[in-house]
Structure 1
Amino acid sequence: MYDIPHHTQETAVTDVKIKAKDVQVYYGDNHAIKDVSVEIDNNTVTAFIGPSGCGKSTFLRCLNRMNDTIDICRVEGDILIDGDDIYDKRVDPVQLRAKVGMVFQKPNPFPKSIYDNIAYGPRIHGMARNKAELDDIVERALRRGAIWDEVKDRL
Protein backbone atom coordinates (compact mmCIF):
# COMPACT_ATOMS: atom_id res chain seq x y z
CA MET A 1 0.00 0.00 0.00
CA TYR A 2 2.82 2.42 0.80
CA ASP A 3 5.74 0.61 -0.90
CA ILE A 4 7.07 -0.63 2.44
CA PRO A 5 7.63 -4.31 3.12
CA HIS A 6 5.24 -5.74 5.69
CA HIS A 7 6.87 -5.91 9.08
CA THR A 8 4.17 -8.07 10.66
CA GLN A 9 2.30 -11.16 9.60
CA GLU A 10 -0.89 -10.04 11.35
CA THR A 11 -2.81 -9.08 8.24
CA ALA A 12 -2.26 -12.55 6.80
CA VAL A 13 -3.75 -14.20 9.89
CA THR A 14 -6.40 -11.72 11.02
CA ASP A 15 -8.68 -9.22 9.36
CA VAL A 16 -7.14 -6.21 11.15
CA LYS A 17 -7.07 -3.11 8.93
CA ILE A 18 -5.76 -0.60 11.47
CA LYS A 19 -3.78 -1.38 14.59
CA ALA A 20 -2.71 1.28 17.07
CA LYS A 21 -0.55 0.31 20.02
CA ASP A 22 0.44 2.51 22.96
CA VAL A 23 -0.22 5.74 21.04
CA GLN A 24 0.75 8.93 22.85
CA VAL A 25 0.16 12.43 21.48
CA TYR A 26 1.76 15.55 22.89
CA TYR A 27 1.13 19.20 22.08
CA GLY A 28 4.29 20.71 23.51
CA ASP A 29 4.25 19.67 27.19
CA ASN A 30 0.54 18.76 27.12
CA HIS A 31 0.07 14.96 27.04
CA ALA A 32 -3.17 14.97 25.02
CA ILE A 33 -3.60 11.23 24.37
CA LYS A 34 -2.27 8.54 26.69
CA ASP A 35 -1.76 4.84 25.96
CA VAL A 36 -4.35 4.35 23.20
CA SER A 37 -4.39 0.83 21.76
CA VAL A 38 -7.10 -0.32 19.36
CA GLU A 39 -7.59 -2.76 16.50
CA ILE A 40 -10.08 -1.97 13.75
CA ASP A 41 -11.14 -4.80 11.49
CA ASN A 42 -11.40 -4.50 7.73
CA ASN A 43 -14.85 -3.71 6.30
CA THR A 44 -16.31 -2.58 9.61
CA VAL A 45 -17.79 0.65 10.89
CA THR A 46 -16.15 1.92 14.06
CA ALA A 47 -17.30 4.89 16.12
CA PHE A 48 -15.23 6.88 18.59
CA ILE A 49 -17.61 8.37 21.13
CA GLY A 50 -16.75 10.65 24.01
CA PRO A 51 -17.04 14.15 25.39
CA SER A 52 -15.65 17.18 23.62
CA GLY A 53 -11.90 17.48 24.11
CA CYS A 54 -11.26 13.84 25.03
CA GLY A 55 -8.98 13.19 22.03
CA LYS A 56 -11.21 11.59 19.38
CA SER A 57 -10.20 13.95 16.56
CA THR A 58 -6.59 14.06 17.72
CA PHE A 59 -6.41 10.28 17.48
CA LEU A 60 -8.11 10.21 14.07
CA ARG A 61 -5.64 12.83 12.82
CA CYS A 62 -2.87 10.36 13.69
CA LEU A 63 -4.25 7.90 11.13
CA ASN A 64 -3.37 10.12 8.18
CA ARG A 65 -0.59 12.05 9.88
CA MET A 66 -2.45 15.35 9.89
CA ASN A 67 -0.81 16.03 13.26
CA ASP A 68 2.48 16.32 11.34
CA THR A 69 1.22 19.72 10.17
CA ILE A 70 1.23 21.02 13.77
CA ASP A 71 4.75 22.08 14.77
CA ILE A 72 4.36 21.41 18.50
CA CYS A 73 2.67 18.02 18.06
CA ARG A 74 4.54 14.77 18.69
CA VAL A 75 3.10 11.27 18.17
CA GLU A 76 4.61 8.18 19.80
CA GLY A 77 3.62 4.52 19.64
CA ASP A 78 2.81 2.30 16.69
CA ILE A 79 0.11 2.73 14.06
CA LEU A 80 -0.15 0.11 11.33
CA ILE A 81 -2.47 0.12 8.35
CA ASP A 82 -2.55 -3.17 6.46
CA GLY A 83 0.46 -4.16 8.57
CA ASP A 84 2.55 -1.18 7.43
CA ASP A 85 3.92 1.33 9.94
CA ILE A 86 2.50 4.64 8.70
CA TYR A 87 5.07 6.58 10.73
CA ASP A 88 8.01 4.83 9.04
CA LYS A 89 10.36 7.47 7.61
CA ARG A 90 9.87 5.97 4.14
CA VAL A 91 6.13 6.72 4.16
CA ASP A 92 5.24 9.88 2.27
CA PRO A 93 2.52 11.64 4.32
CA VAL A 94 1.07 13.17 1.14
CA GLN A 95 0.53 9.72 -0.39
CA LEU A 96 -0.86 8.43 2.91
CA ARG A 97 -3.37 11.31 3.07
CA ALA A 98 -4.44 10.56 -0.49
CA LYS A 99 -5.46 7.08 0.71
CA VAL A 100 -6.69 7.88 4.23
CA GLY A 101 -9.17 10.71 3.91
CA MET A 102 -11.24 12.20 6.70
CA VAL A 103 -14.32 14.34 7.00
CA PHE A 104 -14.86 16.02 10.34
CA GLN A 105 -17.97 17.63 11.77
CA LYS A 106 -16.15 20.96 11.98
CA PRO A 107 -13.84 22.23 9.23
CA ASN A 108 -10.31 20.95 9.72
CA PRO A 109 -8.23 22.62 7.00
CA PHE A 110 -4.51 22.38 6.54
CA PRO A 111 -2.69 25.41 7.96
CA LYS A 112 -2.45 26.84 4.45
CA SER A 113 -4.35 29.32 2.30
CA ILE A 114 -7.90 28.70 1.10
CA TYR A 115 -6.49 28.14 -2.39
CA ASP A 116 -3.92 25.58 -1.21
CA ASN A 117 -6.53 23.67 0.80
CA ILE A 118 -8.83 23.38 -2.23
CA ALA A 119 -5.96 22.66 -4.64
CA TYR A 120 -4.35 20.02 -2.40
CA GLY A 121 -6.27 16.98 -3.69
CA PRO A 122 -6.21 17.88 -7.39
CA ARG A 123 -2.51 18.77 -7.13
CA ILE A 124 -1.36 15.50 -5.53
CA HIS A 125 -3.48 13.46 -7.94
CA GLY A 126 -2.12 15.27 -11.01
CA MET A 127 -5.53 16.53 -12.10
CA ALA A 128 -4.13 19.78 -13.55
CA ARG A 129 -1.38 20.21 -16.11
CA ASN A 130 -0.61 23.79 -15.11
CA LYS A 131 -1.54 26.61 -12.75
CA ALA A 132 -4.32 27.90 -15.00
CA GLU A 133 -6.06 24.49 -14.91
CA LEU A 134 -5.60 24.30 -11.15
CA ASP A 135 -7.04 27.82 -10.82
CA ASP A 136 -10.11 26.67 -12.80
CA ILE A 137 -10.55 23.59 -10.59
CA VAL A 138 -10.34 25.71 -7.43
CA GLU A 139 -12.81 28.28 -8.73
CA ARG A 140 -15.30 25.61 -9.87
CA ALA A 141 -15.10 23.87 -6.48
CA LEU A 142 -15.70 27.11 -4.60
CA ARG A 143 -18.57 28.07 -6.90
CA ARG A 144 -20.16 24.63 -6.40
CA GLY A 145 -19.81 25.16 -2.66
CA ALA A 146 -21.52 28.55 -3.10
CA ILE A 147 -18.67 30.41 -1.40
CA TRP A 148 -16.71 31.79 -4.38
CA ASP A 149 -18.04 35.35 -3.99
CA GLU A 150 -17.27 35.26 -0.27
CA VAL A 151 -13.65 34.08 -0.56
CA LYS A 152 -12.42 35.00 -4.07
CA ASP A 153 -10.45 37.98 -2.73
CA ARG A 154 -8.87 35.96 0.11
CA LEU A 155 -7.53 32.88 -1.73
Structure 2
Amino acid sequence: MIEIERKFLVNSDAFKTEAYTSYTIKQGFLNSNKARTVRVRLKDDKGYLTVKGKSTANGLSRFEWEKEISQSDVEALLPLCEPGIIDKTRYEVKSKDHIFEVDEFYGDNEGLVIAEVELRSESENFEKPNWLGKEVTGDIKYYNSQLSKKPYKKW
Protein backbone atom coordinates (compact mmCIF):
# COMPACT_ATOMS: atom_id res chain seq x y z
CA MET A 1 0.00 0.00 0.00
CA ILE A 2 2.89 2.31 -0.72
CA GLU A 3 2.15 4.87 -3.40
CA ILE A 4 5.10 5.99 -5.55
CA GLU A 5 4.35 8.90 -7.84
CA ARG A 6 5.87 11.90 -9.55
CA LYS A 7 3.99 15.14 -10.07
CA PHE A 8 4.35 17.74 -12.84
CA LEU A 9 2.79 20.97 -14.00
CA VAL A 10 1.16 20.78 -17.42
CA ASN A 11 2.18 23.26 -20.12
CA SER A 12 -0.64 22.82 -22.70
CA ASP A 13 -4.13 21.39 -23.25
CA ALA A 14 -2.76 18.76 -25.67
CA PHE A 15 -3.37 16.03 -23.06
CA LYS A 16 -7.14 16.40 -23.58
CA THR A 17 -6.99 14.96 -27.10
CA GLU A 18 -4.88 12.05 -25.81
CA ALA A 19 -7.13 11.22 -22.84
CA TYR A 20 -9.01 7.94 -23.01
CA THR A 21 -11.36 8.85 -20.13
CA SER A 22 -12.28 11.71 -17.83
CA TYR A 23 -14.47 12.20 -14.78
CA THR A 24 -15.30 14.82 -12.19
CA ILE A 25 -13.92 14.73 -8.66
CA LYS A 26 -15.17 16.55 -5.59
CA GLN A 27 -13.20 15.96 -2.42
CA GLY A 28 -12.72 17.28 1.08
CA PHE A 29 -10.30 16.62 3.90
CA LEU A 30 -11.45 15.37 7.29
CA ASN A 31 -7.83 15.70 8.44
CA SER A 32 -4.97 17.42 6.62
CA ASN A 33 -2.23 16.94 9.19
CA LYS A 34 1.24 16.58 7.57
CA ALA A 35 1.71 13.18 9.22
CA ARG A 36 -1.57 11.86 7.81
CA THR A 37 -4.43 13.04 5.64
CA VAL A 38 -7.93 11.62 5.56
CA ARG A 39 -10.07 12.56 2.60
CA VAL A 40 -13.49 11.76 1.20
CA ARG A 41 -13.92 11.83 -2.54
CA LEU A 42 -16.77 11.64 -4.99
CA LYS A 43 -15.53 10.41 -8.37
CA ASP A 44 -18.54 10.92 -10.64
CA ASP A 45 -21.04 8.89 -8.56
CA LYS A 46 -18.59 6.61 -6.68
CA GLY A 47 -17.40 7.43 -3.17
CA TYR A 48 -14.03 6.80 -1.53
CA LEU A 49 -12.43 7.24 1.86
CA THR A 50 -8.64 7.57 1.67
CA VAL A 51 -5.92 7.75 4.32
CA LYS A 52 -2.43 8.88 3.27
CA GLY A 53 0.69 8.87 5.42
CA LYS A 54 3.57 11.31 5.48
CA SER A 55 5.66 11.51 2.31
CA THR A 56 9.29 10.44 2.23
CA ALA A 57 11.87 13.26 2.25
CA ASN A 58 12.04 13.31 -1.56
CA GLY A 59 8.24 13.35 -1.85
CA LEU A 60 8.10 10.24 -4.05
CA SER A 61 6.53 7.67 -1.71
CA ARG A 62 3.93 7.43 1.02
CA PHE A 63 1.46 5.04 2.54
CA GLU A 64 -2.01 5.09 0.98
CA TRP A 65 -5.14 3.18 1.98
CA GLU A 66 -8.43 3.58 0.12
CA LYS A 67 -11.88 2.07 0.55
CA GLU A 68 -14.94 2.51 -1.64
CA ILE A 69 -17.91 3.98 0.23
CA SER A 70 -21.37 5.03 -0.92
CA GLN A 71 -22.16 8.33 -2.59
CA SER A 72 -24.53 9.11 0.30
CA ASP A 73 -21.70 8.51 2.82
CA VAL A 74 -19.49 11.00 0.97
CA GLU A 75 -22.31 13.55 0.84
CA ALA A 76 -22.84 13.11 4.60
CA LEU A 77 -19.11 13.50 5.36
CA LEU A 78 -18.32 16.48 3.09
CA PRO A 79 -19.97 19.01 5.45
CA LEU A 80 -17.66 17.75 8.23
CA CYS A 81 -14.54 18.44 6.17
CA GLU A 82 -12.10 21.25 6.74
CA PRO A 83 -12.84 24.39 4.69
CA GLY A 84 -11.76 24.24 1.06
CA ILE A 85 -13.49 21.60 -1.05
CA ILE A 86 -11.51 20.59 -4.16
CA ASP A 87 -13.35 20.43 -7.51
CA LYS A 88 -11.56 19.13 -10.59
CA THR A 89 -11.80 17.06 -13.73
CA ARG A 90 -9.36 14.19 -14.01
CA TYR A 91 -8.19 12.99 -17.42
CA GLU A 92 -6.39 9.67 -17.83
CA VAL A 93 -3.76 9.53 -20.56
CA LYS A 94 -1.81 6.41 -21.54
CA SER A 95 1.81 7.01 -22.49
CA LYS A 96 3.72 3.82 -23.35
CA ASP A 97 3.61 1.65 -20.18
CA HIS A 98 2.26 4.37 -17.87
CA ILE A 99 -0.97 6.19 -17.20
CA PHE A 100 -0.84 9.89 -16.38
CA GLU A 101 -3.66 11.32 -14.29
CA VAL A 102 -4.10 14.97 -15.25
CA ASP A 103 -6.15 17.16 -12.93
CA GLU A 104 -7.72 20.39 -14.18
CA PHE A 105 -8.83 22.37 -11.13
CA TYR A 106 -11.81 24.72 -10.72
CA GLY A 107 -12.99 27.26 -8.16
CA ASP A 108 -10.19 28.85 -6.14
CA ASN A 109 -7.66 26.56 -7.87
CA GLU A 110 -8.78 27.38 -11.42
CA GLY A 111 -5.87 27.74 -13.82
CA LEU A 112 -3.86 24.97 -12.15
CA VAL A 113 -3.31 21.75 -14.12
CA ILE A 114 -1.19 18.98 -12.58
CA ALA A 115 -0.21 15.55 -13.95
CA GLU A 116 0.80 12.58 -11.82
CA VAL A 117 2.28 9.26 -12.83
CA GLU A 118 2.39 6.25 -10.50
CA LEU A 119 5.53 4.14 -10.59
CA ARG A 120 6.54 0.66 -9.43
CA SER A 121 9.82 1.94 -7.96
CA GLU A 122 11.34 5.34 -7.21
CA SER A 123 13.99 4.79 -9.89
CA GLU A 124 11.61 3.61 -12.64
CA ASN A 125 12.02 5.41 -15.96
CA PHE A 126 9.08 6.64 -18.02
CA GLU A 127 8.56 8.58 -21.21
CA LYS A 128 7.48 12.18 -20.65
CA PRO A 129 4.72 13.45 -22.94
CA ASN A 130 5.46 16.78 -24.63
CA TRP A 131 2.74 18.55 -22.60
CA LEU A 132 4.48 17.69 -19.32
CA GLY A 133 6.09 20.73 -17.69
CA LYS A 134 8.13 21.44 -14.57
CA GLU A 135 8.37 18.66 -11.98
CA VAL A 136 6.83 19.58 -8.62
CA THR A 137 7.19 16.22 -6.83
CA GLY A 138 7.63 16.82 -3.11
CA ASP A 139 6.49 20.46 -3.24
CA ILE A 140 3.67 20.29 -0.70
CA LYS A 141 1.90 23.42 -1.97
CA TYR A 142 0.74 21.22 -4.88
CA TYR A 143 -0.80 18.56 -2.61
CA ASN A 144 -4.59 18.66 -2.75
CA SER A 145 -4.71 18.88 1.05
CA GLN A 146 -2.69 22.11 0.85
CA LEU A 147 -4.59 23.46 -2.16
CA SER A 148 -7.74 23.22 -0.04
CA LYS A 149 -6.12 25.52 2.57
CA LYS A 150 -4.10 27.84 0.35
CA PRO A 151 -5.66 27.79 -3.13
CA TYR A 152 -3.74 28.51 -6.31
CA LYS A 153 -5.54 31.82 -6.90
CA LYS A 154 -4.13 33.17 -3.59
CA TRP A 155 -0.46 32.46 -4.34
TM range (shorter): under 0.3
More relative contact order, 1 or 2 (CA 8 Å, 6+ apart): 2
- Bigger radius of gyration: 1
| Higher helix content, 1 or 2 | 1
| Higher strand content, 1 or 2 | 2
Normalising by structure 2, report the TM-score: 0.27
